[in-house]
A and B are shown apart, each in its own frame.
Chain A
Amino acid sequence: MLRQALHRFRCLWDRRRKDAELDEEIRFHLAAEAEERIDASLAPERARAEAQRDFGNVLLTRELTREAWGWAPAERLLRDIASAFRMMRRNAGYTCAVVLTLALGIGLNAPMYEMLSRLFLQPPPHIEDPDAVHRVWLSERDDSDDRGVFTGPASAWDRMQWLEFSALSADSAPTGAVAGYTARRFMPNGRGQTAENLSVSWVTGAFLDLLGVEPTIGRLIGPEDDDPAAAPVAVVSDGYRRERFASPQEALGATLEFDDVTYVVVGVLPPGFSGPDPGGVDVWLPLKPAVTALRGDRWRNFGSGFYLTPLARLPRGLTLDAAGAAATAAVRAARADSPFGDSLDPEATVVLGSILRTRGPSSPSGEIRLALVVGGVTLLVLLIAAVNMSNLLLVRVAARRRELAVRYALGAGRWGVGRLLAIESLVLATVSGAVALAVAGVAGRTLRLTLLPGHQGTVDALNFTAVGFTGLAVLAVGLGAAIAPAVYAARSRQIERLDSSRGASALGTPVRTGLIVVQVALSLVLLCGTAVFYRSFEAARQVDVGYAKENLITVDLAGFRRTGPLDEAAIDALESRLQSLPDVLDVAQGTNSPMWGQAAMPPPRVEGLDRLPFNEGPYVSLTTSNFFRVAGLAILEGRGFTEWDRAETQKVAVVDTTFADGIWPGRSAVGQCLFFGQASTDCTTVVGVVESALDRGLLDADRAAVYYLPISQASSNPIQAGFVKNMRTVVVRTRGNTARAVQPTLLALADLFPDLPRDNVRSLQTVFAPRIRTWTIGTGLFGASAALAVLLAAIGLYAVIAFGVRQRELEFGIRRALGARASRLLRMVLTRGFSLAAAGVVAGTLAALWAGRFIEPLLFDDRTPRDPLAFAVAALVLLTIAVAASLLPARRASRADPRQALEAE
């Protein structure tokens, strides 16, 4: 055994020497044979000739003998690979095109796949026996009719109020161990503009222990930390530890300060741990002390607006249904016992699901949906790249018919040539895969940050999943792309002979044209997607938010928990300092931060109405007299506030169109009365109507009713005075771009309000941008993919048409010789390109009509994905490019030389 292996190894080692030896051995044999015949008195030439004849096929003998050396398969593989590399070097342009497209295709898909698999397939890392941990969903109906009967469809949430959670996590827990955590939020650590914004999650004492995570150093948050009297502790993520501290030991004992409470770091979590969600959490804090410090004691009550997500670790033997039924009973009992029981759906049910939120009963969020669509798009790009490669291989096979014919003649089997093609294809795919890893390394991070900014990625740029995906994709594409060319090569064997360098050119054409049609169709789908998303993007971008959002900065002065009212002197100082900045045009004040928050106080009464006809609001903002002008809210009727609206003059109000249309439909709001305070007869006159602003959302349905009151008249009403005392936003209209004004504004803020974090200074453009993020990203990604796809389709189409023209060069020449005009030949070829593209456009349109359902929920304002204009533009673009791609070969055809054709015949 060993000797054999050694022998083989030696053979591999000195194959050149062995080849030479074999040659010499055969030469000796021939010489000996010839000599024998000379001895039998034959003429020497004759003897040699006969010896040669008797020996038979020397090449074949050599080939067969080489196989006997025992390493034939390995050598053959090496030879085929070498031949593949030679082929690649000879056709550098073709190789570059294939490798680049395939690398992009695979390189974009690998991180996408990794991302989606983290969202949908893999349990979060560092969780012990993750299959036993379940997310607890509460399914309930929100709407009740006038009699308090709950109607409408139930929707599921993975969040509960504290009393419901306690019913689940009580000592006699119906579902085994239960622990809860809050969705992460960003909180400044410390005060002022240097405070870092950390993502924080509050957890119950049992939470980290229930997940089964082990700290790398120190300890976890435990049940003892639930005691509000206990010293506040914190556990930090590995990522944050690395950012802040040189070593894990250094982190232990360090302090963090959130909302004036100091927390001591007692432990560091392992790298990659992010809790049950993929979102990165920097700091974990014990829930009870932290929430009590922030909100006082009311958070435990129903209706306090505090929610946490429960997780349950089921004991062995308890089924999901049984646990769910027990939990449902516990939650219903807790609701019935509470004084708010009437306002809650008594038939709420509890369902236990996978720890992955995306696998739960609620429909996916827009963000996740977008990630899925992008995953589909990148897969489409990969498919196009593979089809393109297959087509280019096919064209090359057709061009290599002679070489293949020679190989067949030399005795290569159908299988052998197929293998050769598969190896060439695989080598191309492997080289592409290597480039793809580089692409994935660079693009993966960007893609992840763009698509899911809130989701923590893996620590490494490339991980096992992404590399594994690349490997599989290389194999699948490499083999898949070789199928059509191999089948074609095998079939061509039966028809073609060595001498047929032309003719039979129609062979393989159906496959080639079919592949082109597929490619064009897929490109059209992407183009349509781009156009549809672009239309949504444009529509969303042009939404009128009411405010003139360009060149507007807001400075939120109420962002930090304060003791005592705002410092009016500091506000005045800030205003005059901002006013004096060269890049600032004007400054105004309001109690509300435009496009950021809304506030309500007990609504005014209106004559003739028991209650105001709004589902939501009305909201209020108390403003200075120049607010409407500075914020850019147009006064549509009447007037705004003036400096003559003072405490002692007639009380005035301004309402927005939503308010006016809701209360006084068809009538003018100006001159109407609002009454503040119970039983007050003191009329506050509406003096003007302004346009309705979009403080959140983008749709007209998001426009809430708002009324405005002058700050100068607030002192007479205690509620209004309280509003003004505690809330204030300074609105700054800048000259030109806001960028130049932000820094001096921050400096002024640092001097006058040193406790406020940087985030409180916002330009409205940056507040607006995330709202249209879906369409910005959608347009960008679809656009980039479509551009790539169209380029590939153009290359493919060009290759096929050019090849067809080369095949028929003779025919064109003859046509010319027979008197066909050049323009006619030109038209012939162009028509061919056009009709191929047209077929693709038809197929693609059908595919896009079908695929529209996937992006429908993502489009702005219920726009349709079957937008005729978008489809028309996409089709036009593709057809134009198709004609352009066939123009070059068409010119070549029209210049076919009749003389050459005649000579060849």
Chain B
Amino acid sequence: MENIILEMRSITKTFPGVKALDAVNLKVRAGEIHALVGENGAGKSTLMKVLSGVYPHGSYEGDILFNDETVAFTGITDSEEKGIIIIHQELALVPLLSIAENLFLGNENVEGGVINWPKTYSRTQELLAKVGLKESPSTLVGQLGVGKQQLIEIAKALAKDVKLLILDEPTAALQENDSAKLLDLLLEFKAQGISSILITHKLNEISRVADSITVIRDGASVSTLDCHAQSISEADIIRDMVGRDMANRYPARKHPTQEGHLGKTLMEVSRWNVWHPDALDRQMIHDIEFNVHAGEIVGIAGLMGSGRTELAMSLFGQSYGKNIQGEVRLRGEIADLSTVPKAIKSGLAYVTEDRKELGLILEETIQTNTTLANLDRVSSNGVIDGNIERQVSEDYRQALNIRTPSVFQKVMNLSGGNQQKVVLSKWLYSQPDVLILDEPTRGIDVGAKFEIYSIINELADDGKGVVMISSEMPELLGMCDRIYVMNEGRFVGELDKADASQEKIMSMIVKA
């Protein structure tokens, strides 16, 4: 093995009562893209925090060698000085400052304490060109989409003379073409000799760009794979991640549309039009028509920004948009969905895209979150019966296999997959006929995804209608009976499971 830029030797990190990392080894060669994979909670982020000095030297055991010298970082400034730059999952940008100001935040071009703006702007332009952005340096970061913000973060790293770039799930919030752009950029950096560590859940990205892979499971490094020396299948990686074979990523289900016996129509949306809540001349949703049958899983495919979430939220109690027009029939009857309580009462549930922001009360317990959307069912005359409530949440904990010692655990202490199961519990307990699931597996590891898929299948088998919105096309293809394709606020196509493919969906979007 030649030219190792980074070596982490038997890193062990303990938190009170928990061993987060147990003798983890990681070796990154100069100029390679090294993928770090593992389930949520496996210890990837902890390892990177050790590397970047967030957990200072002395708070862990083991050695870190960077460019063949032992380093002892006491803070993030130390590691950045050496050229190790980490880009966290939650972007660290100030939305109300300009691109130029953000790029050099804490690293300003100063002369005697005064910022040299011309130099700042010209360097900003250089850096933006490097990441392929054409924005003006004075544009406010808050006006950019998530994909571009991610690129700004990378440009920020470049401003600091980066040698090793660490990206923590950079594409989790990105749609496919933005992800592709970002991965291309990594390949370009590689050509320039910059090494990167890529933490991701998306296995297709790994097979596309990674030179080697380290798999971490339960705080220990399980295996290191060299992508050039051996041919590695996704199944291999998954097996190492979860410690078990996962022959099929999508659980099997009888697909009613294929069997030819469709349930009765549960939900029918016709001529649905929605305008932007602030800019009343902007129509966001145009003449959407769709239906969902009992026992059916219907997908909505489309790029981010195509209006999928806006459609779902406008249907669910008019939580988005103004001047909403159109008609929704539930079980054949016209439904009044004008407020969220009415929508819930009509039998609609909406599992939000962003579970932390919109789905959960993080400070509260699993129990409290589970019953929140249907408190009336565990109470009489406004008084909650704690025993029934506990029983209900306990039942869901077991049914959905939420891994936690008790339902009195605060949800902020749970992993992403378990949090998502709590959100699902909440909406299952609201007794809906139709569930709209918006990115139900975003930021969740492979093992938990499989469980969520199984739950969704069970819902359909129970005769509920499921609408599934997802950015991951394989997921839609693997799960749905029918897929609507959405672009710029319109449905541009409808595909049956039998003749749906990623290429067809993409071409519908592109041609629309």
Q: Do A and B bind each other?
A: no
